[in-house]
Copies of this chain bind each other. A is one copy, B any other.
Amino acid sequence: MRSEESLDLRPYLREKKAIVDRTLEAHFPVAEGPASDLIDAMKYSLFAGGKRLRPILCLAGAEAVGGTETDVLPAACALELIHTYSLIHDDLPLMDDDDLRRGKPTCHKIFGEAVALLAGDGLLTESFNLMTAPELVERVSPHLIFKVIALISKAAGYRGMVGGQVVDIQSEGKAVDLSVVEFMHTHKTGALISASVASGAILAGGDKSELEAITSYGQKIGLAFQISDDILDIEGDSMTMGKESGSDEQKGKITYPAVIGLSKAKQVQSELVEASIESLRAFDHRAEPLRQIARYIIERRK
């Protein structure tokens, strides 16, 4: 169901990214004192060129139910801290052992493994500090904030992202069936993406049916996004992506294309995106950014 409204997604993403970047920059102090390397390492990875997809989904989720970004901005930024910590830990030699991320040296290549590990720990911990920021606590009903902290901590933790990462690591080089790939993808990437859009809608006061629809949308684009990552790893251009293409296959990573083939993976991805847009059928033009972001998942080149 393509909306009649036309929204040019690129300026929307640019504008929201700028708001998120400004808020993140204002949140962290100038690095000084005995632990200044830690602050530098946290900021290095936080400002290494992320698309800010999770914060933008949070803002767009709020917008879809009639909220404004000022209601949810600290929570949106908290999601980026969590995403960044997960990348730093993922890149460590004891995990994926990646030297490059978005075309730049990974955190541990610059700051060493110990500081990188701790920078990840620091970002994860600070994300929950942001979720109790005065700007949020003074604006939003407490039980909604508790609901969001519970949701995000579940989605990011052992029942979500961290659980998916364990399966990712442990399945390397093994023959696994589709159910394991699906568990891995829905947990490793899908859970936090889905929680991002749902958090925005919760904090902005979305009602039960709105939250159900938004959650359904989030789960579908979360899985579609990870499948799209898998596809980009095969088809993508190393220059555009900022990392070597084909690295999943080299590492024996389990991916959708590896298990069901590239063309079937593309079909599943398209179906998920269409179904995600269908989940939003009861929403008006204010959900147009969410619809466009769903389409963007298929079209993105990095």
- Asked if B162 contacts A38 (CB within 8 A), the reply is yes
A92-B95 Cα distance, complex, nearest whole Å? 13
Instruction: Please report the C-alpha to C-alpha distance between residue A156 and residue B125 in the assembled complex, in whole angstroms.
Output: 7
Residues in B neighbouring A153, C-beta threshold 8 A: 125-126, 128-129, 132
Question: Is A121 an interface residue, CB under 8 A from the partner?
Answer: yes
- Picked from B42, B114, B150, B184, the residue with its CB within 8 Å of the CB of A95 is B114
Would you call A94 and B114 a contact (CB within 8 A)?
yes
Which of these binds chain B: A140-148, A229-237, A267-275? Answer: A140-148
Query: Contact string, A109-153, partner B, CB cutoff 8 A, digits 1/0?
Result: 000011101101110111011011000010000110110011001
Q: What is the interface residue range for chain A against chain B? A: 35 or more
Q: Which of B142, B145, B162, B170 is the one whose CB lies under 8 Å from A121?
A: B162
- State whether A165 and B92 are in contact (beta carbons under 8 Å apart), knowing that A35-B187, A129-B150, A149-B131 are contacts in the complex: no
How many copies make up the complex?
2
Report B-chain residues with C-beta under 8 Å of the C-beta of A149: 128-129, 131-132, 149
A169 and B115 contact, Cβ closer than 8 Å, known pairs A156-B125, A158-B42:
yes
- Secondary structure of the A contact surface, majority rule: helix
Is A166's beta carbon under 8 Å from chain B?
yes
- CB neighbours (8 Å) of A142 from chain B are 142-143, 145-146
Q: Are A162 and B122 in contact (CB under 8 A)?
A: yes
A83 contacts the other chain (CB 8 A): no
Flag whether A302 is at the interface (Cβ < 8 A): no
Given contacts A95-B114, A117-B92, A131-B149, contact A34 B167 (CB under 8 A): yes
A117 to B94, CA, bound (A): 9
Bound form: Cα–Cα A183–B113 in Å: 22
**A39 in the interface (beta carbon within 8 A):** yes
